Structure 1
Amino acid sequence: MKGPRETDFAYQAVYRYLTQLIGEPASEDRVRLPSLRQLAERLGVSISTIQYAYSLLEKEGRVYSVAKSGYYAFPVSSLNTLSSGNDLLETVYVNARRPGMLVLSADEPALLQPLDSPLLLLERELLRQYPRQPQPTSQPCGELELRAALAVRYTTSPVRCWHADDVYIGADLRGVLEILIAVLCLKDATMVVESPCDWAILRLLQAAGVRVLELPVEANDGLDLGRLKELLESEPVRLVMLSSGVNMPRGSLAPDDNRQSVAQLLERHGSWVLENDCYGELGFEPDNLRFRDLLNPDRLLVFSTFEKVIGPEAPYGYLLSRHLRAELQRHFLLRSFRLSPIRQKAIARLYSSGRIDQHLQVLRRLLKDRKVQMTQLLQERLGDALHVVEPQGGATIWVRSLRQVDVRRVFQRLLKHQVVIAPGELFSLQGLHTQHLRLSHTFAGDHDLGAALGLLGTALRLESID
């Protein structure tokens, strides 16, 4: 199976430019980098594209942002120390962006079918309709047209309805979640989180001082009701975070009866629920029951991002909440996200015109086809070494080694052959999933996947600790 045609997205070119810029100064002091607007004008790309490239570098620990000041690069000496340290996630990020690597650690579903061209075309048309004004009206919570489009999309009945004032849009998902943590006063508070869980979310909660209790997804793809009941009764749980449909990275879908039982238990306890809807549109069967169809909307918050569906030209994150309006508006105003109103209008038109639904039909089919190819290869080549969880959506596959292995050493061994995988321990803060891996079935470039899986099989045998 070959990867899709190598595509040089604008953010990738900006990322490479910034990496070179970071490496130029020899100073041991911090280096201030150009602003979003300066770089956008210099390179002839959108502010959103610059923001996304900066966010990648920030995740890698190569730059950091200072409120009201801008972005700064760490001194070269500290970068060298950081990339050679023991932080597994940092090692994954750094190596995934080295030239020539086969990146089987990523989770980029839109890579198969990005909507960047239609989005930018719409943006150019809108620029002709809405010429720049000297001082545009400030909308700190996001462009009203996009907020209204999302409210319509999430409304399913007169009871489960949303309005534009319930929707908040930020520059990226991380920024939106940071605001939510502040508004809910989650520092030192207790949250229950499905496990495995996205590593970026886990690291964000950890950095914010949130006490995370992990609720593992069971072998039957459901959640353990007894364990959840025990946690709700014995711990001061402030918030429960659940996947709206497909659990990622596991790619599994809880049975409807389990989902209904979980919802009833949460209702009895009056629990506040945070629904992760980042993959809600990416289930192979789109009409599955979601938690927000079962829960009291007055004790529900929903977050998501456009990036997984549209691609890197739409990095914005968003939040839906019926309550906490004054506090959320205040924090979004203080955060001062710099969002392109025209880009937001263009995304809104993708939704209101039905273009996003047409795109999703194609994207789901491509993802499902790629999943079938990948799982067949895994069964043929590594059926005696790995157990594969059959994914019900998304762009990744969750596998477990059938033998006890040192997965970190497997990871390091594959790096020497320019292959990057995602060890399962990244998706837990409590040492779970140490015998698991997440593998991507969408990747850029022309790579020999069969050969890479052969290398994986060899590494699993060599690093067996039975």
Structure 2
Amino acid sequence: MREDKQADFAYQAVYRYMINLINEVGTEARVKLPSLRHLAERLNVSISTIQYAYSLLEKEGRVYSVAKSGYYALPMAANTPCCSAGDLLERLYTGARRPGMLVLSADEPAQLLSLDGPLLQLERELVRQYPRQLQPYSQPCGIWELRAALAARYTRSPTRCWQADDVYIGADLRGVLAILIEVLALNGAAVLVESPCDWLILRLLQDAGVRVIEWPCNEQGRLDLAYLEQQLRAEGVQLALLSSTPGLATGKALSLAEQTQVARLLELYGCWLLENDVHGGLEFEASTRYLRDVVNPARLIVFSTFEKVMGPEAPYGFLLSRHLSAQLQRQFLLRAFCLSSLRQRAIARLYYTGRLDLHLQDLRAQLKAHACAMQVHLAQHLGERVTYRVPQAGATYWLRSTEAVDMRRVFQDMLARQVVIAPGELFSVSGLYQQHFRLSHVLSTHHRLDLVLEALAQALKQGQNR
């Protein structure tokens, strides 16, 4: 492991080790994997590094966790074909982890410019200041320094302020959202989500028995406020899950007038706002006002992750809530996240020193340049086969085929060409977006983009419904 870490980041070496461990299993029965602490001792790395490697494997469908028991995995043979049967999301993950694949389905802005190196350097410096014996054994909601840094970051005024005790940090975004769903007791409840919506969020809501009501944009590319009021009035919506940044499909942020109207409707119908700030700070033109700045703070929860901005060495998820403190603290205590206090302090240093702001400035500029470059490539190679709105945040394009196509067939054809795209139906629970797909404009690969897009154009042509 020490040799691996010199040439690579620790979590990547652990990930490769775990893949080999899983593939060595010679049975199709479920197999219990080593515990976080056991692996950390075996491989001489931090528990948070092990946690992140497991998180990657869980996202890919290679492992799953059982409460109070541990992680389990089913082996996958090295020659497993990209079959056309089965769950679409599982097929996407299976294709994405095959060697030599170009993953155009991912949403990884920090792939352009991560803070992995600075984080590890800060962590090494902090080791001298905080010897292991002085580190707190347990911080179920995260260490104070990082919680205080986040509280300061989100505070906008004396009436819209946060304290460290309002911030909760978990091992990853999935774990934090799972706790939130449990605390809000959403089983059987109606939750309105801005659509299209990330498949991780949709799967968690579905698994919890939530009645998901989608709020798609209209033909003009705007969110229809009349539709929002209709759903709030007719469906008894308890929670609205809305993005803080320009939407994937709309490419636009809500105007101040629209934000004010949304806030009025949520207050009128007693609906909570759960603001998705995963892409916060990644708007090409930095925002000055968010929906959370105008809604009733008594019914506001914000969630996000460091990973999109900082990179894979900062996998933690977090949420902010000025209420529900007793329930949230209890659930975080029960989950007993084992988070590296040094890594959290290193992240906090990035906030306090202003280094994160400089990083965001550079990252936004690079994201905007890549989005513009992709627009040129799309015009050249896909032409009139697709329509789209140029994104204003993040790392992906949302495209719609101008002809009726079998998008699953397009997806399968591209897999055969060693390219992974994300079919639009993954972003809906009610069958929307059958003609859509998501592409990343952040590429770090030896593949030639022009050849890939020509192949995609051919796949769209062959996939036309006859």
TM over 0.5: yes
SS of 1:432 mapped into structure 2: coil
Number of matched pairs: 459
Aligned to 2:317: 317
CA contact (8 A) 1:146 1:344 kept: yes
Aligned to 1:4: none
- Distance in 2 between residues matched to 1:327 and 1:247, nearest whole Å: 31
Aligned to 1:160: 160
Matched, 1:113 2:100: no
- Shift in Å at residue 40 of structure 1? 3.0
Aligned to 1:86: 86
- Distance in 2 between residues matched to 1:102 and 1:187, nearest whole Å: 38
**Structure 2 counterparts to residues 232-243 of structure 1, below 5 A:** 232-243=232-243
Q: 1:290 to 1:120 in 2, by over 3 A?
A: same
**Structure 2 counterparts to residues 249-288 of structure 1, below 5 A:** 251-288=251-288
Matched, 1:225 2:216: no
Query: CA-to-partner distance for each residue in 1:359-410, whole Å, 9 max, x for gaps?
Result: 0001001111110100111012112101121100100011111111111100
CA contact (8 A) 2:215 2:223 kept: yes
**Structure 2 counterparts to residues 56-95 of structure 1, below 5 A:** 56-74=56-74, 85-95=85-95
CA contact (8 A) 1:248 1:279 kept: no
Q: 1:72 to 1:332 in 2, by over 3 A?
A: same
CA contact (8 A) 1:282 1:394 kept: yes
Aligned to 1:37: 37
Matched, 1:377 2:346: no
**Structure 2 counterparts to residues 57-456 of structure 1, below 5 A:** 57-74=57-74, 85-133=85-133, 136-248=136-248, 251-456=251-456
SS of 1:391 mapped into structure 2: coil
Q: 1:234 to 1:393 in 2, by over 3 A?
A: same
- Identity level (%): 62
CA contact (8 A) 2:142 2:169 kept: yes
CA contact (8 A) 1:192 1:239 kept: yes
Query: CA-to-partner distance for each residue in 1:421-462, whole Å, 9 max, x for gaps?
Result: 001111000000111110001133211010000000001111
- Distance in 2 between residues matched to 1:435 and 1:28, nearest whole Å: 36
CA contact (8 A) 1:405 1:460 kept: yes
- Distance in 2 between residues matched to 1:66 and 1:351, nearest whole Å: 35
Q: 1:220 to 1:288 in 2, by over 3 A?
A: farther
- Distance in 1 between residues matched to 2:459 and 2:20, nearest whole Å: 34
- Distance in 2 between residues matched to 1:174 and 1:146, nearest whole Å: 19
Query: CA-to-partner distance for each residue in 1:276-318, whole Å, 9 max, x for gaps?
Result: 0001111001124311111111110000000000011111000
CA contact (8 A) 1:196 1:250 kept: no
- Distance in 2 between residues matched to 1:239 and 1:95, nearest whole Å: 35
CA contact (8 A) 1:397 1:440 kept: yes
User: Counterpart of 1:223 in structure 2: which amino acid?
Assistant: L
Q: Which has the higher contact order (CA 8 A, sep 6+)?
A: 1
- Distance in 1 between residues matched to 2:94 and 2:227, nearest whole Å: 37
- Distance in 1 between residues matched to 2:119 and 2:322, nearest whole Å: 29
- Shift in Å at residue 262 of structure 1? 1.7
Aligned-residue Cα RMSD (Å) equals 2.0
- Shift in Å at residue 223 of structure 1? 1.4
SS of 1:152 mapped into structure 2: helix
- Shift in Å at residue 80 of structure 1? 6.4
User: Counterpart of 2:180 in structure 1: which amino acid?
Assistant: L
User: Counterpart of 2:357 in structure 1: which amino acid?
Assistant: D
Runs (5+) with no aligned partner, structure 1:
1-6
Q: 1:311 to 1:130 in 2, by over 3 A?
A: same
CA contact (8 A) 2:248 2:397 kept: no
Aligned to 2:3: none
Aligned to 2:4: none
Runs (5+) with no aligned partner, structure 2:
1-6
Aligned to 1:3: none
SS of 1:241 mapped into structure 2: strand
TM-score, length-scaled by structure 2: 0.94
User: Counterpart of 2:338 in structure 1: which amino acid?
Assistant: R
